Structure 1
Amino acid sequence: MQPQVLFLEEFIMEILDVAAMMVAGLMVGCELAIAVFIHPTLDKLPDGAHQPAASAIARVLGTVMPFWYNLTFLLTLAELVLRWHQTAHVSIVLAASASLWMLASVYSLIALVPVNNRIQSWDTSAPPADWKKYRRTWDMHHRWRTAVLTIAFGFLLVGVR
């Protein structure tokens, strides 16, 4: 192969590596911050402040996160496919990472999105009587998802080195 083509291919892979790690790392950091800091802080607020804040956060993140999840999965998949193309063997850790990103996305659609949609639709002046039960359910599912995402991110970091 010509030296210019090899240089360009290596340069593109470096850009992809950085993009994949940044996008994934920021997303996992955001999800971890929600699980460890934001929602526990919301739980300490009086109900009159907690419920409207939770509803507003659910609306914002419900809009942004689907794009972010898909972008992270696609970048991880691109890493896997391009490295397979270059070396003619599949990286098990990148395959595991891509699989876990996809699993987390499917889990989100099944377990978290329905609860999130319910939370964001509540009338903030008159939430349902059992609204905290839904918040606790969402938080429990979110902690599981965050654990899976953290492992997927670790696999991605190992796979691109």
Structure 2
Amino acid sequence: MLSALEVVTTVVVGVMVGVEFAVAFVLNPILDALPGDSGQLGRAHGGRMLGAVMPVWYLASLALVAVWSFAGRHHHGTALVVTAGGLLLLSVLMSVLLLVPINNRGKTWTPENRPADWKEQMNRWDRLHHVRVAVIIAAFTLLVTALV
């Protein structure tokens, strides 16, 4: 049973990392290169769509890691799993305190109502998101290492 939990947790966290990596290094650069207001409209739509899904995904990942930490507390690699859980908790705190407020504003913007500093706000979100991606990649790496 523990092996199944380890695999499911690693896959769930790994796919989340892949999505967040793609947003940071593929999707947003593509949107930013689009002409006119297309990029800003795409970011607003993405903010609404992913803003609804990602909180559940982050919390489910954190919960799975917590269960793995408890269920495997007497097994090899538990310290790695606990550390990964701490990093995932850090990513949730970063999200709630730093990224979500910007996203909540950005997902409502249109070319007609966006603030003058909207690009600066999106650049700040991107920088913070890059840090968050590094944190969740580290967590994922620890989970994979705990498996071997």
Q: How does 1:1-161 map to 2 (within 5 A)?
A: 12-84=1-73, 87=74, 91-161=78-148
Give 1:47 deviation, angstroms.
3.4
* 1:33 to partner: Cα distance: 0.5
TM-score, length-scaled by structure 1: 0.87
1:146 Cα shift?
0.1
Structure 2 unaligned spans of 5+ = none
Conserved 8 A contact 2:84-2:140: yes
Cα offsets for 1:91-148 (capped at 9, x unmatched): 2211110000001000111110000001012234442222111110100000000000
- Residue 128 to residue 92, structure 1, CA distance change in 2 (3 Å): same
Question: In structure 2, what is the Cα distance between the partners aligned to 1:39 and 1:144?
Answer: 15
Given that 2:24 and 2:129 are in contact with CA atoms closer than 8 Å, whether structure 1 keeps it comes out as yes
Shift of 1:42: 1.0
Q: Which has the larger radius of gyration?
A: 1
Unaligned 5+ residue runs, structure 1?
1-11
User: Share of identical aligned residues, percent?
Assistant: 34
CA contact (8 A) 1:100 1:152 kept: yes
Distance 1:62 1:105 in 2: 13
Amino acid at match of 2:46: I
Q: Is the 8 A contact 2:69 2:81 kept in 1?
A: yes
8 Å contact kept, 1:79–1:160:
no
Write the deviation string for residues 45-71 of structure 1: whole angstroms up to 9, x where unpaired.
Answer: 123101110000000111000000001
CA RMSD of the aligned region, Å? 1.5
Q: Distance in 1 between matches of 2:41 and 2:27?
A: 14
Say whether the 8 Å CA contact 2:76–2:146 is kept in structure 1.
no
Equivalenced residues, count: 148
Per-residue deviation at 1:160? 2.8
